[in-house]
Amino acid sequence: MKTIALIAHDGKKAEMVAFVKDHLEYLKKAKLLATGTTGSYIQQTGLDVELKLSGPKGGDAQIAALAAEGKVDGIIFFRDPLGKHPHEPDIQMLMRICDLWNVPLATNPATGTLIIEGLLDN
């Protein structure tokens, strides 16, 4: 079973929930991880989600560590590119880990769809 991590900044949480609803059949085939608040919203869709800490409290770093250990097959991170984020170093570290360990990382719905279909279409 593939493991997908889901993360969304506050201004993108509604977009993430809509994305998840649009891809429920695919996501039912995966083990899902998410940062705390994002994951609690996703759980309301009926999917089982393993919650990590919220992003600002270390959730991004927890998911990055799992990616470095080879325990995450893809990450969908709807970032707010116009907002300021106090945990920006964690965000940059997550992106660096994905590049270093060749973990697919989507930052918008179009690439998120490609990751989901590529990993879970079987």
Q: Catalytic site residues?
A: 60
Q: Which helix (H) or strand (E) holds 72?
A: none
Q: Are 60 and 90 in contact (CB under 8 A)?
A: yes
CA distance 23 to 99: 25
CA distance 104 to 84: 24
